[in-house]
Amino acid sequence: MSEPRKLEVLRAIVEDYVHSREPVGSKALVERHHLGVSSATIRNDMAALEDEGLITAPHTSAGRIPTDKGYRLFVDQISAVKPLSQAERRAIQSLLEGSDDLDDVLDRTVRLLSQLTNQVAVVQYPHLSRALIRHIEFVLLAPRKVLVVLIANSGNVEQRVIDAGQDLADEALSALRSRFLGTLAGTPLARLAQALPAVVSSVSPGERQAAQSLAHALEILAHSSREDRMVMAGTANLARSNVDFPLSIGPVLEALEEQVVMLRLLSDMAQDHRGVAVSIGRENPYDGLAEASVVATGYGPDSVAKIGILGPTRMDYPNTMAAVRAVARYLSRILGP
């Protein structure tokens, strides 16, 4: 069996199984694909693929389905990620543009990617090790109550209400905001804690207590904005794919709920020359995802944070890879400088 024909027969089996969810037999391959050989030859080819562990027979079925190893070879043979259609690109652009709020943008993004792929879509919040402070706002809610708002140049907005520790007038709070913003604008979030003492010490003794309270709030907000978080959409798609999880769908749902599992997996996935990362079945380090695949890619200026989908190993890999990469590129463009 030649290597090109082996790959062609494997490709046909993968495509038919993804489309039909039914084990694929030699007769169906001959009828649906122009492989240029007889049904008997195809049967021999399928036997060779089975010997290599690329396909397997479920139960006593006469047909065959791809194994994780078979999917891996199929994915690795996809030479390039195809571009989406013009209509799909227009849909992505119209749905993602028009918002400056990071939470809203990421929520739209996962809902769109889930609709494009019919899978669960996940996106990590941008890693903010390089994010800079763009704006600080203090809003007086009551004589001692202040709403503290911290905005990063990545689009992250964090806020909390604090007790300033002393009564403040609007004019005094406005002066404090100008002092904090004038000193801290452009400071990396990762270095905010080191920069705050100098700001507090420059304030008059009569406002020192309020300045300390405001500085403490900013430090907390900067820390919380740097925590790893993710947004997801489309978990209902897993329920429609329960036939693809013969053991149990429970562990997959648990992995999604325990975000640390997905965040660690996304962070560890390395992109290939096509700009995507694909982890198939038992390649996933978490046992609960042994029947699932994850397709992801980085986004943003440093491509550290990732966006991707999780679904059964029986998925349309070429179209999924194309959708993930296209949405990531639009997201990078929206969040870019």
Contact yes or no for 102/157 (Cβ under 8 A): yes
Q: Which pLDDT value is given to residue 195?
A: 93
Relative to beta strand 145-152, strand 55-56 is unpaired
- Above 90 in pLDDT, residue 306? yes
- Whether 75 is covered by a domain: the verdict is no
Residue 20: the pLDDT is 87
Sequence-ordered list of residues with C-beta below 8 angstroms from that of 163, at least 6 positions apart, any chain: 144, 145, 213
Q: How many CB atoms lie within 10 A of CB 60?
A: 5
Task: Tell me the pTM.
Answer: 0.74
- For residues 130-148, average pLDDT: 90
Q: Is residue 58 part of a domain?
A: yes
Q: What is the mean pLDDT of residues 289-316?
A: 89
Give 324's pLDDT tier (boundaries 50, 70, 90): very high
pLDDT digits (tens, 9 = 90+) for 65-76: 999 999 999 999
Count H helices and E strands in the chain, helices first: 13, 10
Beta bridge partners of 132: 188
From CA 254, how far away is CA 241, in angstroms rounded? 16
The CATH number of whichever domain residue 175 belongs to comes to: 3.30.390.10
Same domain, 113 and 161: no
Q: How confident is the model at residue 279 (pLDDT cuts 50, 70, 90)?
A: very high
Query: What CATH number did the domain enclosing 62 receive?
Result: 1.10.10.10
- Sequence length of the chain is 337
Is residue 20 situated within a structural domain?
yes
CB of 236 closer than 8 Å to CB of 122: no
Among 206, 225, 244, residue at a domain's last position = 225
For residue 72, is it within any domain? no
Does the pLDDT value for residue 247 go beyond 80?
A: no
- Calculate what percentage of the chain has a pLDDT beyond 90: 48
Gap between the Cα atoms of 324 and 55, Å rounded: 27
Q: Is residue 80 part of a domain?
A: no
CB contact at 8 A, 304 and 271: no
- 2-21 burial code (b ≥16 CB/10 A, e <16): eeebbbbbbbbbbbbbbeee
Weakest-pLDDT range from 19-28, 33-42, 193-202, 292-301: 33-42
**pLDDT at 237 exceeding the cut of 60:** yes
| 326 and 242 assigned to the same domain | yes
- Classify residue 79: in a domain, yes or no: no
Distance separating alpha carbons of residues 23 and 19, to the nearest angstrom = 11
Residue 313 has what pLDDT? 93
Please name the residue that has the structure tokens 């966006």.
Answer: 307
In the chain, the number of structural domains is 3
pLDDT band at 203; cut points 50, 70, 90: very high
- Residues 240, 276 share a domain: yes
- Tell whether 50 and 162 lie within a shared domain: no
Measure the CA–CA gap between 84 and 89, rounded to whole angstroms. Answer: 6
* For range 183-189, the mean pLDDT: 90
Torsion of CA 318, 321, 325, 328, to 10 degrees: 140
Are residues 241 and 221 part of one domain?
no
Contact 249, 236 (CB under 8 A): no
Planar angle of CA 43, 48, 53, nearest 5 degrees: 120
> Any idea which residue has 């792929």 for tokens?
117
Confidence of residue 309 (pLDDT cuts 50, 70, 90): very high
Q: Is residue 212 part of a domain?
A: yes
pLDDT for residue 242? 65
Q: Domain of 21?
A: 3-67
Q: Which two tokens stand for residue 46?
A: 């399928």
Per-residue pLDDT at 103:
83
Do the domain assignments include residue 96? Answer: yes
| CA separation for the pair 16, 70 (Å, rounded) | 14
How far apart are alpha carbons 202 and 164 in whole angstroms? 17
pLDDT (mean) for 252-261: 85
Is a pLDDT exceeding 70 seen at residue 46?
yes
**pLDDT at 257 > cutoff 70:** yes
Least confident window among 28-42, 172-186, 222-236: 222-236
